[in-house]
């Protein structure tokens, strides 16, 4: 079974991961920021060890689909600097948020 590990456009981490997995006995290939392995047995454990051993603080392993894992630094929506709706927390650019806020007002009037 082939497993693809998407390093979220970070080719440096993809290279580090490929080398790390190779030392752990995996047959790994790198394609841009993707690491492709042919035998994904215990891969989640190995990715967890990679995060710990390389001190990748804030990184997590996310399952995208049955063949793809994502290795990325998870960020809160607030870290992107987008304004949010005071009523429901919806985050969007200011122009879109203006229309969104108005929809709340219209919903309350009905």
Q: Cα separation of 88 and 38, whole Å?
A: 44
* Mean local confidence (pLDDT), 11-18: 96
| Structure-model confidence comparison of residues 106 and 23, the more confident one | 23
Q: What is the mean pLDDT of residues 75-80?
A: 77
Q: Which CATH architecture has domain 3-73?
A: 2-Layer Sandwich (3.30)
Closest to 85 (Cα-Cα) out of 99, 97, 73, 67: 97
Please provide residue 25's backbone torsions phi and psi, each rounded to the nearest 5 degrees. 95, 5
User: How many other C-beta atoms can be found within 10 angstroms of the C-beta atom of residue 37?
Assistant: 22
What is this structure's pTM? 0.70
Look at 109 and 20; give whichever has higher pLDDT.
20
Which strand (E) or helix (H) includes residue 110? none
CA separation for the pair 106, 35 (Å, rounded): 49
- List, for residues 17-65, the tens digit of each pLDDT value: 999 999 999 999 999 999 999 887 889 999 999 999 999 988 999 998 9
How confident is the model at residue 77, as a pLDDT?
Answer: 73
The yes-or-no verdict on residue 107 having pLDDT over 60 is no
Strand, coil or helix: 76: coil
């Amino acid at each position: 079974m082939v497993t693809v590990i998407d390093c979220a456009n970070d080719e440096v981490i993809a290279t580090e991961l490929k080398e790390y997995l190779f030392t752990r006995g995996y047959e790994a290939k790198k394609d841009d920021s993707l690491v492709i392995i042919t035998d994904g047995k215990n891969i989640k454990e190995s990715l967890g060890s990679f995060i710990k051993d390389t001190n990748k603080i804030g990184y997590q392993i996310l399952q995208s689909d049955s063949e793809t894992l994502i290795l990325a630094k998870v960020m809160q929506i607030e870290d992107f600097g987008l304004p949010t709706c005071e009523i429901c927390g919806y985050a969007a650019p200011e122009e879109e948020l203006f229309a969104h806020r108005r929809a709340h007002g219209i919903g309350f009037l009905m």
